[in-house]
Structure 1
Amino acid sequence: MSYEKEQTVAIQACLQAAKLCERVRSTIPVAIEKVDHSPVTLADFGSQALICHRIHSEFPDDPIVAEESPKVLLKPEQADNLKQIVAYVKEEHKDADEQQVIEWIGYGTGHVSQRYWTLDPIDGTKGFIRRDQYAIALALIVDGDVKVGILACPAYGDDGGLLFYAVRGKGAYSQSIKAFNTTIPTRIYTVIDNDINNFRFVESVEAAHGDQAKQTKIARIIGIQAAPIRMDSQVKYAAVACGQAAIYFRFPNPHSHGYRENIWDHAAGAIIVQEAGGKVTDMDGKALNFRDNEKMLDNRGVVVSNGSIHEKILEAVKD
């Protein structure tokens, strides 16, 4: 199956969402605290509304497993925020109303199935709020295998950001977001420099998202002496895919033993790195499980590499 239609629809949906997100970020973004005390912004909800509406319109039988739920917006104290979200969505759909926007966001409360989409409408919300890196991440999964992946990264690369996308078996590509319709896609590859002395590794800005001490230790063991590049969101996958970094480590935080990764935080980035020539596994060398649950319950941590150094990393972790 070519997945040509799926790729085209997903790209256009993410470009729409990127436009909305940057519109919100041109002001000081309003953050709402979720039940788990993590932040969510008007842009998260607006992005999810646009993408879920587009995917549901074209593929009505496909469930969408997204990060956000519209429930928080139904609270009376969120009435003004809901009106503002609708105003942003109206820039793309002038006839949208509050009931429709809530419904569109709610399309993202689907469940993992044989064929489904997974979406993080803004991956790296803290980076978005402080006007740093963030990504809009969308992936199609069939029989547990990621078939299409899109990362819109409005703050990465050239002016206006870069869009990264891949279809299984067809390579990974990047393209300007701002000039998408007038530029030619660039095929990307993970290995830019084969000299390990020049390798860099990338990790999260947030110390709580991993084990930075262990990540640095493993980097030193395999011969990387340079300081880590720290970024928010799945932009880290993009950095490996286009050769800016050779490795992305995300080891479990030693203070959060029971934590498991969410599928929407890794699916889109994983296929882009793999199609660029890299490898993605957990710390034990197992493939990431996108088949069974919205949490990757069978996986411990994540290791992303340019491919050439992957087995050396896993051996160092094992030792």
Structure 2
Amino acid sequence: MAANYAVERKIAELAVRRASILTNKTFHSLVKGTVSKEDKSPVTIGDFGAQSAVIGAVLHAFPGDAVVGEEDADVLRQDENTRTLVWDLVKGAVEESAALNGEIGTIQTAEEMMDLIDRGNSEGGPKGRIWALDPIDGTKGFLRGGQYAVCLALMVDGEVVVGAMGCPNLPVDPANPDGERGVLFSTAKGAGAIQKPLNSSLDVEGTPIAMNKVTDLSQASFCESVEAGHSSHGQQAAIAKALGITKDSVRMDSQAKYGSIARGDGDIYLRLPTSKSYQEKIWDHAAGKLLVEEAGGVVTDSVGKTLDFSIGRTLRDNKGVVAAEKDVHQQVLDAVMAELSKASL
């Protein structure tokens, strides 16, 4: 009998909601406190604050679990001004979240906040309970005013079993893009996938979501990354043409793409490798992968291999991502492999 991860799913929802309160405040601020990491990717005060907020909630409930997080607190320990900005955010988010959701772990001091950020230092692996966290997935989208997501997933012995994703800028009703924004997605292995408004009360169970049943691939639509450095737009256009797809692709930052196709806004998500050396990070795909699968999809890499979350902080044995509704995934994958084989000739 499959394990029931209802408690873990609820904690994941609460943790993501707490961090989404924090990131949404930063999103509407003129001061995002941007710094650059060694790989030149941006990180904001929202990233630091969200990581501490989520890890604080997770470890309050499950103190023996490990966390693979994207950030560390080195910058905050060296820069008092940035540390103060982040601490002010975290205090406010914890208080507001407690008022809405009940207490899910307090954070008493800036030092405790930084220690929590650094608890995201797990190397992952094939054994035990390990959470994968991206405090702001799609930081460039966050900075430009686009889509971003707070993403959290639980892996048990290398298998993703719970996922939650907060998308503060995604419309609650895709048919009303100018209406209420802020969506919380959640899922557990074998339990389906749901969405609910981010600001909904705790007793709201959410609405089940499912991928579109695609009967004619020429009528399908693609989701892809905004950043060309993240995925090959040219190859994806060629694949769309090979499949007879004529609709313009929808470009969106973050794992919001997984949520978007899981609820039927789009049908296919491709993230094709832009270099032979690049390794996808587990926190960029864990929650979204399970969400799509529980909504009726299949997620593999660009040669049809299952994404392997058991070997560390990256998906080093996989190249690219192909996500589509289960009945057409193989057809999409065939087109992907045909296009990639041309590039290797």
TM-score, length-scaled by structure 1: 0.95
- 2: CA distance between counterparts of 1:179 and 1:55? 21
**Structure 1 contact 243–306 (Cα < 8 Å) conserved:** no
Residue aligning to 1:126: 140
Give 1:142's aligned residue: 156
Say if 1:249 and 1:93 are closer, same or farther in 2 by CA, change over 3 A.
Answer: closer
2 CA distance for matches of 1:164 and 1:257?
32
1:185 alignment counterpart: 206
2:26 — aligned with what? 24
Q: Which runs of 5+ in 2 are unaligned?
A: 96-106, 173-179, 339-345
Deviation track 1:30-86 (CA, whole Å, cap 9, x = no partner) reads 2111111111001101000010011111111111001011112222xx211101111
1:298 aligns with 2:317: yes
Secondary structure of the equivalent of 1:91?
A: helix
Aligned to 1:7: 9
2:72 pairs, out of 69, 84, 95, with 69
Write the distance in 2 (CA, Å) between the matches of 1:163 and 1:293: 27
Q: Which residue of 1 aligns with 2:220?
A: 199
Aligned: 1:227 with 2:248: yes
Task: Provide the residue aligned with 1:278 in structure 2.
Answer: 297
* SS at 2:112 equivalent: helix
- 296, 307, 317: which is aligned to 1:288? 307
- Tell me, yes or no, if the aligned pair for 2:18 and 2:94 is still in contact at 8 Å: no
Shift of 1:315: 1.4
Q: Partner letter of residue 91 of structure 1?
A: G
Return 5+ residue gaps in structure 1 as ranges.
none
Aligned-pair distance for 1:293? Answer: 1.3
Runs (4 or more) in structure 1 with deviation over 6 Å come to none
Aligned residue in 2 for 1:103: 115
CA distance 1:57–1:131, shift in 2 (3 Å): same
| 1:88 and 2:89 are equivalent in the alignment | yes
| 1:215 aligns to 2:236 (yes or no) | yes
Q: Distance in 1 between matches of 2:236 and 2:247?
A: 12
State the 1:148 CA deviation: 0.1
Residue 220 of structure 1, CA deviation: 1.3
Give, in angstroms, the shift of residue 195 of structure 1: 3.4
For the 8 Å contact 2:214–2:327, the answer to whether it is kept is no
CA distance in 1, matches of 2:255, 2:137: 7
Secondary structure at 1:219 match in 2: helix
Q: How many residues align?
A: 315
| Segment drifting more, 3-12 vs 184-193 | 184-193
Distance in 1 (CA, whole Å) between partners of 2:238 and 2:216 is: 19
2:264 maps to 1:263: no
Contact 2:261 2:269 in 1 (8 A): yes
Other structure's SS at 1:118 match: strand
Question: Deviations 1:237-282 (Å, cap 9, x if unpaired)?
Answer: 01110111110000011xx220010000000000000000001000
1:244 and 2:265 matched:
yes
**Code of the aligned partner of 2:40:** H
For 1:307 and 1:31, the matched residues in 2 are separated by: 40
Task: Tell me which residue corresponds to 1:308.
Answer: 327
Shift of 1:129: 1.0
Partner Cα distance (1:248, 1:169) in 2: 22
Q: Is the CA contact (8 Å cut-off) linking 2:213 and 2:325 kept in structure 1?
A: no
- C-alpha offsets along residues 66-118 of structure 1, whole Å, 9 cap, x if unaligned? 1011112222xx21110111111111446622211111111111221412000
Distance 1:233 1:87, change over 3 A: same
Paired position in structure 2 for 1:165: 186
* TM superposition shift of 1:194: 3.3
Asked if the contact 2:33–2:45 (Cα under 8 Å) also holds between the matched residues in 1, the reply is: yes
Offset at residue 192 of structure 1 (A)? 5.2
CA distance in structure 2 between the aligned counterparts of 1:200 and 1:141, rounded to whole angstroms? 30
- Report the Cα distance in structure 1 between the residues aligned to 2:143 and 2:250, rounded to whole angstroms: 20
Matches of 1:318 and 1:81, distance apart in 2: 46
CA distance in 2, matches of 1:96, 1:37: 32
Identity %: 38
